[in-house]
Amino acid sequence: MSTWGGDVFRVDDIDVSILLDYDIIGFGSGIYFGKHHKSLLEFIDDIEKLEKKTFIFSTRSITPPRIAHRTLRKKLMDKEASIVGEFSCKGENEAGPFKLVGGICRGRPNEEDIERAISFAETTKKLA
């Protein structure tokens, strides 16, 4: 359960049929090599059709949101989902070469990012 009344699931822990129980569905993860996590993208592939309101979210280090969300956005649109909004903020990254310099985007998401996420959630909830 999230702070604003929604349920939160890991894609590895649910069946696609559960999506029928919701009016609006958020899909998101950290960004890995320019796109959402592989398990999320594979989960979307298993959906036959998704005529639901959806939103996209992510944390990322260097990839701009319009690029980072591109693959997920296309997959959702191909499933006939209506995307009502997108949210992204910086997230700490200590993977690969960034590990050598102690990571980048340290301390992110920060308080300002959290406030922006809450504002996005409140606005998006009204669309349900």
Query: What digits encode the pLDDT tens for the residues 111-124?
Result: 999 999 999 999 99
pLDDT at 1: 41
90, 55 contact by CB (below 8 A):
no
Query: What digits encode the pLDDT tens for the residues 79-104?
Result: 999 999 999 999 888 777 776 677 77
Phi, psi dihedrals of residue 112, rounded to the nearest 5°: -60, -40
Query: What digits encode the pLDDT tens for the residues 8-61?
Result: 999 999 999 999 999 999 999 999 989 999 999 999 999 999 999 999 999 998
Domains of the chain (ranges plus CATH)? Answer: 11-125 (3.40.50.360)
Structure pTM?
A: 0.89
